[in-house]
Amino acid sequence: MSSHAGSTRRGRWTRIRADVVAAGLVVVALAASSQVRPVQTTLASFTDNPSLTTGSFAAHTVLPPDSASCWTGLLTATVTWPSKDSRYDYEVVLRRMTAPSAIVSTKQVTGSAVSQTYVGIADFGLTLGISDVLFHVEIRSKLATATSWTSATVRTYASIRVVQILFLPVAMHCTT
């Protein structure tokens, strides 16, 4: 073996030992600089008695009526719809479409009732002169036990055309 090969091996071992010593010193320095605290015991114990109250949860999609029918009498118009669910009440809106357009009335139909009747001047109002006034009837379903649960859609179910002469309705016609 040549002396050159022996010195190369010794140099390599010297470097390895120096690296190991340096790494060891770093570990010792880190351990000395960190403050390791021992785990302390406690005599505290949990004494709370948990309680839990539950209720019932429900999901329901409130749907408006599928259809409606309308008929007129001498000075009345009645809108009827099929009951979709016995748990529903209904909100029926009479909206004047002829200028000035506005909601004329909002009626709450509760229980097993599935119709709303509008009567002459009391519901359609007065118009001076001769006029042909168009009204729409909109129906929204409402869950009777939770009135904030209403159908997301509102449909126009009937159009009521009222002919008035000098304040008085003289003819009505329904279409659905």
Total residue count of the chain as it appears in this document: 176
Which pLDDT score is estimated for 176? 80
pLDDT band at 31 (very low <50, low <70, confident <90, very high): low
Task: Evaluate whether residue 43 is within a structural domain.
Answer: no
Task: Evaluate whether residue 44 is within a structural domain.
Answer: no
- Same domain for 73 and 156, yes or no, is yes
Instruction: Give Cα separations from 162 to 69, 110, 139, 169, 170 (angstroms).
Output: 17, 27, 20, 6, 8
Residue 69, beta-bridge partner list: 80
Which pLDDT score is estimated for 90? 93
Q: Under 8 Å CB-to-CB from 106, ≥6 apart: which residues?
A: 91, 92, 93, 94
Query: Residue holding tokens 């009391």?
Result: 122
The per-residue pLDDT for range 69-90, each reduced to its tens digit, is 999 887 889 999 998 788 899 9
Task: Evaluate whether residue 29 is within a structural domain.
Answer: yes
- Same domain for 12 and 84, yes or no, is no
Cα–Cα distance, 53 to 40 (Å, whole number): 37
Task: Evaluate whether residue 131 is within a structural domain.
Answer: yes
CATH number, position 78:
2.60.40.10
Q: 77: domain range?
A: 69-175
Task: Evaluate whether residue 57 is within a structural domain.
Answer: no
Mean pLDDT (the chain, rounded)? 79
What is the number of structural domains in the chain? 2
- Same domain for 77 and 153, yes or no, is yes
Task: Evaluate whether residue 27 is within a structural domain.
Answer: yes
Task: Evaluate whether residue 122 is within a structural domain.
Answer: yes
Which pLDDT score is estimated for 95? 92
- Whole-structure pTM value: 0.61
- Same domain for 164 and 99, yes or no, is yes
Q: Residue range 128-136: average pLDDT? A: 80
- Same domain for 73 and 116, yes or no, is yes
Task: Evaluate whether residue 137 is within a structural domain.
Answer: yes
> In angstroms, what is the C-alpha Rg of the chain?
43
